[in-house]
Amino acid sequence: MKKLLIITVALLIILTGCKTVIEDPDVDLPDIIEKDPEIKGVNISPEKVLAGSGEKVEFKVEAILEGEKTIDITSDMKFSSDTEKISFENNKALVGEDAITGEEHVVIAEYIGAEEVDIDLYATIEVFNSLEDTIDENGVITNPEAYDMVVNKERNLSSQYVPQDLVKLEVETCLPNPEINQLRKAASDAITKMFKTADEEEGLNLVARSGYRSYATQDSLYHGIVNKYGQDYADKYSAYPGQSEHQTGLALDITAASVNYQLEDVFGETEEGIWTKENAHRFGFIIRYPEGKEDITGYLYEPWHLRYVGENLATKIFRQDTTLEEYFMNKE
């Protein structure tokens, strides 16, 4: 299934000095204007199209005439966008490889023909990257650098994958291991803002416990649990190497003094946990493993486990009260 791009079009059309009749379907807009036509309106198509990052979308603009006849005026339109993530070659939009699921961008189609006709078309582009297009035949994720990538028990990161933009956390941490006190730059900046806001708004002191973990670290952790408690226990409470969100550098376990800086379910009932659940999306984070969704996410409830996906996607997931998996499945 192709990646998705949902385009919702809103039109602002101002037509001056126009009246309408057409007999020759091949005549262009200037010729019709010279014949004093009466143009009823302008349509852009497709109004909704399914595509995604790295794909092209071709627009067509038509003038609507009497008798429901139309003429193609696409060549008289200039297409542009309000973001560098959408570029144009004539009427073909190219969605950038860095476009993230949930983002919405404006596309503008402006009439630049010779006649005194003022036509402005505004399109809103919502990006969606299908899960089926971001995994190979071996179940390995092909877009590990994307903020909207999904890793779980069915979607693996390569054992060689290491994020290239890891930085040291600037927030309070409670464990000395330097590896786990790292996140990718965007996630680190976001968590700094979130912790600062929690303090400023409610006087809450959130603490980072565990961020990035390499494949090797997760392998050691997982097999240590297997050796101590058995395979079934390990699969229930830990991620198999390559299936841990911590390897992405986008996941962070947080805690607080109210739970003695541990990772406990009761964190979700504390002031810190409640504030986090209600506000994390403002900074691009989701509660990755919410309560009651174990059959979907594959993991038990973890109110402390945050995953950075960007503000747009995080807000949509929060408002829909859903999981990352469900958001993608509902769009497929």
Percent of the chain with pLDDT over 90: 69
| Helix, strand or coil, per DSSP, at residue 131 | helix
Cβ neighbours, 10 Å, residue 195:
21
Q: What is the pLDDT of residue 246?
A: 98
Q: What is the pLDDT of residue 48?
A: 74
What is the CA 186 to chain-centroid distance, rounded? 14
pLDDT digits (tens, 9 = 90+) for 124-170: 888 999 999 999 999 999 999 999 999 999 999 999 999 999 999 99
- The one-letter code for the residue type at 229 is Y
| Helix, strand or coil, per DSSP, at residue 32 | helix
CA distances (Å), origin 310, targets 5, 70, 114, 186, 208: 17, 42, 43, 9, 19
Q: What is the pLDDT of residue 1?
A: 42
Query: Can you tell me the distance from the alpha carbon of 112 to that of 29, in angstroms, rounded to the nearest whole number?
Result: 12
CB 66 within 8 A of CB 87: no
Which domains are assigned to the chain? 4-128 (no CATH), 136-331 (3.30.1380.10)
Q: What is the pLDDT of residue 31?
A: 53
Report the catalytic residues.
302
CB 29 within 8 A of CB 67: no
Q: What is the pLDDT of residue 22?
A: 40
- What is the spatial order of strands in the sheet that 86-89 belongs to? 56-58, 92-95, 86-89
DSSP 146: -
pLDDT digits (tens, 9 = 90+) for 183-228: 999 999 999 999 999 999 999 999 999 999 999 999 999 999 999 9
Assigned token pair, 33: 């204007």
In the predicted model, residues of the chain with pLDDT beneath 50 are 1-25, 27, 35-36
Q: 261: buried, middle or exposed (CB in 10 Å: 19+, 13-18, 0-12)?
A: middle
Work out whether strand 86-89 and strand 118-128 pair parallel, antiparallel, or are unpaired: unpaired
- The one-letter code for the residue type at 283 is F
Q: 148: buried, middle or exposed (CB in 10 Å: 19+, 13-18, 0-12)?
A: buried
